[in-house]
């Protein structure tokens, strides 16, 4: 009996590309390393829970922990180190303009689509799990940055 075919090994293009172009942590736009600016940010934990086929995403576990249920599948993540910003995002961050930063990210066309269906826990209102459309997801990711940003 013939052996089942193995899938081809993943290609390792990303390593070669990393030298030339990285991505902005705020809008995901490919950006030459020399044009990225680092913004200091404290490390923080974040969890993603799968509950009844719904993905629940925390902004961060310290400011807005979601109450776990025994049946939840939990993925723990640590967001570590400085966040790198492209020139457009850097200007919005320097101006403290959160709505502009979110708009840049959504309009960049480089964001990964959120897992579907997914909900977002906001530190402002933990009971309300918001539908994680791209704008809400980006706003939550940026909020985590603003909450943990270091001077
Ligand atoms: Zn950017
Ligand atoms: Zn936090």
Per-residue pLDDT of the chain (151 residues; tens, 9 = 90+): 555 555 544 444 444 444 457 999 999 999 999 999 999 999 999 998 888 877 888 889 998 788 889 999 999 999 999 999 999 999 999 999 999 999 999 999 888 776 665 676 665 655 556 666 777 778 888 999 999 999 8
Structure pTM? 0.76
Q: How many CB atoms lie within 10 A of CB 42?
A: 13
Ligand number nearest to the C-alpha of 100:
1
Residue 48's pLDDT is what? 87
Tell me the CA distances in angstroms from 10 to 3, 6, 93, 97, 111, one per residue in order: 20, 12, 36, 40, 22
Q: Are residues 20 and 11 in contact, defined by beta-carbon separation less than 8 angstroms?
A: no
> Which of 56, 28, 26, 27 has the alpha carbon at shortest distance from 116?
56
At 15 the pLDDT is 42
Task: Give the distance (Å) from ligand 2 centre to CA of residue 139.
Answer: 14
Query: Residue 129 has which token pair?
Result: 């799990």
Q: Ligand 2: distance of its center to the CA of 80 in Å?
A: 12
**What pLDDT, on the 0 to 100 scale, is given for residue 111?**
81
Question: 83 C-alpha vs ligand 1 centroid, how far in Å?
Answer: 10
- Cα 38 to middle of ligand 1, angstroms: 12
pLDDT at res. 9: 46
CA of 58 to the centre of ligand 1 (A): 22
Q: How far is the CA of 72 from the centre of ligand 1 (A)?
A: 33
């Amino acid at each position: 009996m013939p052996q089942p075919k193995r899938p081809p090994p993943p290609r390792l293009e990303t390593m070669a590309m990393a030298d030339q172009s990285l991505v902005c942590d705020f809008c995901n736009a490919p950006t030459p390393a020399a044009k990225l600016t680092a913004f200091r940010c404290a490390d923080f934990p974040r969890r993603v829970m799968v509950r009844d086929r719904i993905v629940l995403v925390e902004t961060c576990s310290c400011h807005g922990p979601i109450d776990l249920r025994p049946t939840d599948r939990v993925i723990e993540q640590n967001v570590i180190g400085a966040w790198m910003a492209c020139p457009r995002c850097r200007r919005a961050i320097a101006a403290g303009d959160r709505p502009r930063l979110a708009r840049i990210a959504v309009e960049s066309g480089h964001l990964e689509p959120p897992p579907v269906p997914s909900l977002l826990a906001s530190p402002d209102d933990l009971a309300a799990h918001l539908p994680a459309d791209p704008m809400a997801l980006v706003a939550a990711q940026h909020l985590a940055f603003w909450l943990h940003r270091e001077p």
